[in-house]
Structure 1
Amino acid sequence: MIPVRGFEGRKVAVLGLGRSGLATARSLRAGEAEALCWDDNSAARDKAEAEGFTISDLSRAGAFEDVAALIVSPGIPHLYPAPNKVVALAWEAGVPVDNDIGLFFRSLAGGEWDEFDAPPRVVAVTGSNGKSTTSALIAHVLEQAGKPVQLAGNIGRGVLDIDPPDEGGVVVLELSSYQTDLARALTPDVAVFTNLSPDHLDRHGGMGGYFAAKRRLFAEGGPDRAVIGVDEAEGQYLANQLSEGLGDDRVIRVSVARKLSGPGWQVFARKGFLSEYRKGRQAGSIDLRDMTGLPGAHNHQNACAAYAACRTLGLAPKVIEAAFASFGGLPHRSQTVVEAAGVRYVNDSKATNVDSAAKALLAFQNIRWICGGLEKEGGLAGLQDALGSVVKAYVIGREAAQFAMQLEGVEAEVCTTMEAAVTRAVAEAQPGETVLLAPAAASFDQYDNFEQRGDDFTTRVRAAVTA
């Protein structure tokens, strides 16, 4: 674990006792601070108390007397749609509010780093879509290249739960807007911005607040290198803000929408080919078309961002290419489950909104599409341009009939259950087709989470194709 520095002998309040909250309390204790823990859930409090932590109701009067800081778990709103009452009490008491990400960055570097010839480095990845795949891909490339690497944050282990990195080690962090929004220290060596699309708008008070939360990763400390997706206006703005001019190679621009040019540093993908240009000359290229773990333009964007980050860490293009080829993808994100009788079965249960489902649909041809679930605000209009490759839709969920009615121009069968949808899709699929789970909806009408839904699809597919 990473012992928290700067609070020795002082009291620090911890609000929220899930994975990150408990890890924070343990790291505070390792750093010789006293953690005062609270969660509205009694089972979470009992678990913390069983580990010997002090339970203190942070909502009571006087709870913040002699408290040095309040550390808030990322799932707890601190400003929008309304400030949490405990956070508001900390404000009133003048107690600094932070999160585990802020503690990580202020505590990571130790005195032993002065003895390292190659100090550890941190790569932090944020954005709306693709940040999990991009983070995992960077870590995979580094591991394949023989570099000591740890994956943490919104994926893998909690940031304070990792081992202190040794000489030359790399920590790859996936950071959500919930994590970047509140952190008082954000000082990665390399920061990556994948893209931006509307999400979590209630939590951030609108699109401007959402982008501002992402932008903090680049503005609070300033990374040595920034990898910026410039296919949206916000990315173009961010790249411009960080760059001192056209030739400033501290900013690497990334695109899957167009060829990038100019004297700076660019990585882009067109028609399945990744190209790296630096100072007006091509410095590397990769054919992504046969990378089974990276199908479609959205994954090609992830590949470009990961490639750029790995190049800043000194890896050669051929080393990165070899590692890309062995990347199997992440579970529930364009994950090939099996190929049988000429049919490919793909689990993209993480496609819980229209934007991510559209990207999944554009990644394949001749699709038998399993979709449906708890529909999100805004309807399905944004899917229309991505339905051209759909042979037939098999709709699941409690409101499957209503969902199916919105799929104009697509043959749709109301199946309601995953079992029925998989059975019908397997029976009707022809060689050369793809059976794709990309629900374009949340899972909570039938499942606890998208992972459970994806696991159900995977289990039923494997059973059906081997029967």
Structure 2
Amino acid sequence: MIPVQGFEGQTVAVLGLGRSGLATVRALREGGAEVVAWDDGPRAAEIAEAEGIELRKLSRPEAFEGVACLVTSPGIPHLYPAPHPAIAAALEAGVPVDNDIGLFFRSFGQGDWAELDTPPKVVAVTGSNGKSTTSALIAHVLEHVGRDVQLAGNIGRGVLDIDPPADGGVVVLELSSYQTDLARSLTPDVAVFTNLSPDHLDRHAGLGGYFAAKRRLFAEGGPDRAVIGVDEPEGLFLAGQLSVAPEDDRVIRVSSARKLTGPGWLVYARKGFLSEYRKGRQVSSIDLREVKGLPGAHNHQNACAAYAVVRTIGLAPRVIEAAFHSFGGLPHRSQRIAEAGGVTFVNDSKATNVDSAKQALRAFKRIRWICGGLQKEGGLGPLLGDTGEVMKAYVIGREAADFAMQLTGVETEVCTDMATAVARAAAEAEPGETVLLAPAAASFDQYDSFERRGEDFAAQVEAVLGGQAQG
């Protein structure tokens, strides 16, 4: 646990008693704060009683008398489309609002750090797609060489629930726009921006607000090194803002779409090969085509970002390459779950938006595509240019018929539920084809998370294949 500093003897309010909220309560108490809390869920009283927490309805005008700070869980709106009543009440009362990420950064580095030979580092990863894989890959490479590393944030443990790092330890944080938008303190040693595509637009009042939330990690965080994906205009702009000169190697530009040139520090993947350039000269090259845990150009971008990070930490290219080959990938992200009769079954349930589904479609050939779900803003138009390898689409979700109608030029079948889609795709697939779950939509019309959707896909594949499947 990371005890929260700066609130000893003061009262702090916590809004939301999920995983991050409960970890925040415990870390605040460990640091000497008094805690009151509120959660709109039906189990709030039960959770509070089990933890010995005083429940206080924080939307009341008098709720913030004597309160030093309100700490809110990341999923609770604080500005758009409208602030939660408790957050509005705190702002009216002049009470600062923060989240667990802000508390982590204000508290990290306390205690016995003066006795450490090598201060621990924090690597923070944000962006629209690839955050989890990039974060996990960084942690995997560091584990491979025996470094003390912890994975936290949106993946792994809650940020305040981790152990105080050892000498030379590294904490790798995956951070969403919800987390970077509100945190009052952001001070990573290395910060990563993977890419940007439209997502969570209602929460940020548009694409500009969404990018601004991501940008805070760099503009206000002031990292020693910044690893920036420059395949979108926003990343290119951010890299330009952070650099003081073309040769400024505090900014490492990465790409999976083109060869990068210039005098700076560059890492790019082209035709399956990762290349590192510094001061206009090639430093190393890695063949990514045989790295089974990182299929497709989108994963090659993740590999470039992770490679750049661990290079800043001092690892050699050949060591990184060896670690890449032992990376198994993450569940629900281009995850090969079975093969039978020459047909491969891939679970990319995490492809919850058009851009991530587009990358999945680019990664495989001859695809039986299972898609559909709760559609996001913008429609499916941007996806249609990447459906050339789709043999047929099997559409699920409560609005499957409408989803299918948008897939112009693609043979479709409205299946509605996962069991039907998997059965039909498996029955029609031929050797050399891939049955790919890449929904291009959120899961909440039928499932409570993309993980549950991916698990259902895997279960239906197992049911259809029986004993034929090979892992």
Q: Smaller-chain TM-score range?
A: over 0.9
Alignment correspondent of 1:201: 201
Residue 362 of structure 1: SS of its match in structure 2?
A: helix
- Corresponding residue for residue 376 of structure 1: 376
Which amino acid in 2 is paired with 1:237? Answer: F
1:126 Cα offset (Å): 0.3
Distance 2:88 2:298 in 1: 40
Quick check: 119-128 or 216-225, which moved more?
216-225
Q: Are the aligned partners of 1:366 and 1:390 in contact in 2 as well (CA < 8 Å)?
A: yes
Alpha-carbon separation, structure 1, partners of 2:405 and 2:63: 54
Q: How do 1:34-433 and structure 2 match up within 5 A? A: 34-433=34-433
Q: Percent identity?
A: 76
* C-alpha deviation, 1:198, in angstroms: 1.0
For residues 434 and 42 of structure 1, the distance between their equivalents in structure 2, rounded to whole angstroms, comes to 43
Separation in 1 of the partners of 2:280 and 2:55?
Answer: 60
1:13 maps to 2:13? yes
Q: Indicate the residue corresponding to 1:30 in structure 2.
A: 30
Amino acid at match of 2:242: L
Give the structure 2 partner of residue 466 of structure 1: 466
* AA aligned opposite 1:406: Q
Is contact 2:59-2:87 (8 Å) kept? no
- After superposing on structure 2, the runs of 4+ consecutive aligned residues of structure 1 that deviate more than 6 Å are none
Q: Which amino acid in 1 is paired with 2:225?
A: R
Contact 1:129 1:356 in 2 (8 A): yes
Task: Tell whether the 8 Å contact from 1:17 to 1:45 is kept in structure 2 after alignment.
Answer: no
Aligned length: 467
Query: Contact 1:143–1:149 at 8 Å: present in 2 too?
Result: yes
- How much has 1:46 moved relative to structure 2? 2.4
Is this contact kept in 2: 1:191–1:223, CA < 8 A? yes
**Mapped partners of 1:152, 1:60: distance in 2:** 33
What is the rounded CA distance, in whole Å, between the counterparts of 2:219 and 2:442 in structure 1? 33
Q: TM-score, normalised by structure 1?
A: 0.97
Aligned amino acid, residue 166 of structure 1 = A
Q: What whole-Å deviation, never above 9, does each CA across 1:46-78 have from its counterpart, x for those lacking one?
A: 202321112122122321111111111111111
Matches of 1:130 and 1:138 in 2, distance apart?
Answer: 12
1:138–1:310 CA contact under 8 A, matched in 2: yes
Residues of 1 paired with 2:449 and 2:16: CA distance? 20
Greater Cα shift, 376-385 or 289-298: 376-385
Measure the CA separation in 1 of the matches of 2:357 and 2:243: 33
Would the aligned equivalents of 2:11 and 2:68 in 1 still touch at CA under 8 Å?
yes
CA distance in 2, matches of 1:203, 1:371: 25
Give 1:442 deviation, angstroms.
2.1
Partner Cα separation in structure 2 for residue 334 and residue 14 of structure 1:
37
Taking structure 2 as the reference length, the TM-score comes to 0.97
Deviation at 1:466, TM superposition (A): 3.1
Q: Which amino acid aligns with 1:245?
A: A
Tell me the distance in 2 between the aligned counterparts of 1:54 and 1:460.
45
Secondary structure of the residue that 1:140 maps to in structure 2?
Answer: helix
Q: Which amino acid aligns with 1:375?
A: Q
| Contact 2:343-2:431 within 8 A present in 1 as well | yes
Q: Which position in structure 1 is the counterpart of 2:451?
A: 451
Q: Over residues 282-328 of structure 1, what are the superposed CA-to-partner deviations in whole Å (9 max), with x where a residue is unaligned?
A: 11111111212111111111111111011111111111111111111
1:109 is matched by which residue type in structure 2? G
CA contact (8 A) 2:254 2:301 kept: yes
Give the partner amino acid of 1:176: S
Is 226-235 or 36-45 further displaced after alignment? 36-45
Q: Which amino acid aligns with 1:137?
A: L
Q: 1: CA distance between counterparts of 2:177 and 2:400? A: 32
Q: Which amino acid counterpart does residue 440 of structure 2 have in structure 1?
A: A
User: Residues of 1 paired with 2:335 and 2:86: CA distance?
Assistant: 41
> Shift of the alpha carbon at 1:153?
0.4
- Alignment partners' CA distance in 2, 1:155 and 1:105: 17
Give the C-alpha shift of residue 388 in structure 1. Answer: 0.3
CA distance in 2, matches of 1:293, 1:45: 43
> Gapped runs of 5+ residues in structure 1?
none
Deviation (angstroms), 1:99: 0.7
Taking the aligned partners of 1:448 and 1:96, their CA distance within structure 2 comes to: 32
Q: Do the aligned partners of 1:332 and 1:350 also contact (CA within 8 Å) in 2? A: yes
User: Following TM superposition, by how much is the alpha carbon of 1:417 offset from its aligned partner in structure 2, in angstroms?
Assistant: 2.1
Contact 1:37 1:45 (8 Å CA) reproduced: no
1:114 aligns to what SS in structure 2?
helix
Deviation of 1:349 (Å) = 0.9
CA contact 2:199–2:353 (8 Å) conserved in 1: no
Q: Which amino acid aligns with 2:334?
A: S
Are the counterparts in 2 of residues 123 and 171 from structure 1 also a CA contact under 8 Å? yes
Cα offset, 1:405, TM superposition: 2.5
Task: Please tell me the residue identity of whatever aligns with 1:301.
Answer: Q
Distance 1:194 1:389 in 2: 26
When structure 1 is superposed on structure 2, of 409-418 and 448-457 the one drifting more is 409-418
The root-mean-square deviation of aligned C-alpha atoms, in Å, is 1.3
In the alignment, the residues of structure 2 paired with residue 37 and residue 275 of structure 1 have an alpha-carbon distance, to the nearest angstrom, of: 50
* 1:373-425, Cα deviation, whole Å (9 max, x unpaired): 22333322111111000111222223323322222222222222211221122
The one-letter amino acid paired with 2:411 is E
Taking the aligned partners of 2:58 and 2:64, their CA distance within structure 1 comes to 7
Cα distance in 2 for partners of 1:182, 1:280 equals 39
Q: Secondary structure at the match of 1:69?
A: strand
